Amino acid sequence: MLIKDICQETGLTKKAVEYYQQKGLISPEIRENGYRYFSQGDVEKLKKIALLRKFDLSIEEISKVLCSQSPNTVLREIKYQKEIEHNNEKKKLELLEGLIQGEDRETIESGLNRLFEQSTIKQRLLNIFPGYYGRFISIHFGQFLNIELEREEQKEAYQIIVTFLDEVESFVIPTDLQNIIDTVTSTIDDADVYKLSSGWTNAVNDFDTYYNENQEILEQYIEYKKTKEYRESDAARLMELFRKFGETSGYYDIFIPAMRKLSPIYNDYYEKLLETNERLIAKHPEIQDWYQR
């Protein structure tokens, strides 16, 4: 089925179909003449996407539903989260109206603080670190922080992380590299972040399958990192900057241990990650120094 037929069948515009393809939600066959051919499976998937979009689900949320073996469980989690967000927004509007009506500022602020206490760890950190550090947390740790602060150990770890991020020396990146980072990150949305993080999460959870499916790509990458081209590349410069920052800032000695206490999900991932790294090094001993700090 060609795209014009797809649009007629699903009620979607060409631009919408192209966008969902770009985001990796569908993968039509590209034939020799350059035309995209959509299978019946693509049709059903696009119908489901169109339905979920009417509920205002984000691309990231839709991706989770489509990738899950238990989509109803994912939808229940999304519904629960949206109920919390809806109730919080309703309470914020009530407090805003109170501010407009001249209610006591301390009363308003107290109400807002109570709402903040009920937010997820990710929401808290993004709220107090709206710039680079908030974006860093969202990209690298967001999937592990959609939980609330409950236990005392978590609260202590949270304070350690906040203090670390607030007091750590600013990470200085040369202007030319910063421009590259800004260009790339400005085009990354939550769905892209989810796809990036889920790829390595899949490797950690099922190393054998991931390695067998990606062995050729991994070997090509390992060989590329040995070349002069890589050593002189912007990517190599950035990696060296990140390595030095990690060694001197306390990132590995303060931030990561606190993150493991803050999120049981991340702690489980971290332990599996160490095992995955060991198994990868066993297959390719020449990458040993990648993991030294």
Same domain, 232 and 145: yes
Same domain, 53 and 73: no
Handedness of CA 104, 149, 262, 58 (dihedral sign): negative
Q: Is residue 63 part of a domain?
A: no
Question: What is the pLDDT at residue 44?
Answer: 93
Q: Is residue 130 part of a domain?
A: no
Last residue of a domain, one of 38, 57, 76: 57
Question: What is the pLDDT at residue 182?
Answer: 61
Return the CATH number at 10.
Answer: 1.10.1660.10
Question: What is the pLDDT at residue 270?
Answer: 92
Same domain, 168 and 260: yes
The low-confidence residues of the chain, meaning pLDDT below 50, are 293
Buried b (16+ CB within 10 A) or exposed e, 227-253: eeeeeeeeeebeeeeeeeeeeeeebee
Same domain, 51 and 82: no
Same domain, 49 and 82: no
Same domain, 155 and 273: yes
Same domain, 211 and 250: yes
Give the integer Cα–Cα distance in Å for 9 and 43. Answer: 8
pTM exceeds 0.75 for this model: no
Instruction: Tally the domains of the chain.
Output: 3
Question: What is the pLDDT at residue 163?
Answer: 93
Same domain, 153 and 285: yes
Q: Is residue 123 part of a domain?
A: no
Give the integer Cα–Cα distance in Å for 22 and 230. Answer: 28
Question: What is the pLDDT at residue 200?
Answer: 66
Q: Is residue 62 part of a domain?
A: no
Same domain, 286 and 147: yes
Question: What is the pLDDT at residue 130?
Answer: 67
Give the integer Cα–Cα distance in Å for 239 and 257. Answer: 22
Q: Which two tokens stand for residue 15?
A: 């631009």
Q: What is the largest CA-CA distance in the chain?
A: 69
Q: Is residue 111 part of a domain?
A: yes
Q: Is residue 87 part of a domain?
A: yes
Question: What is the pLDDT at residue 205?
Answer: 79
Same domain, 159 and 254: yes
Question: What is the pLDDT at residue 184?
Answer: 58
Question: What is the pLDDT at residue 80?
Answer: 72
Range of the domain at 189: 138-291
Same domain, 105 and 76: yes
Question: What is the pLDDT at residue 292?
Answer: 55
Same domain, 148 and 282: yes
Q: Is residue 170 part of a domain?
A: yes
Chain centroid to CA 45: 23
Q: Is residue 261 part of a domain?
A: yes
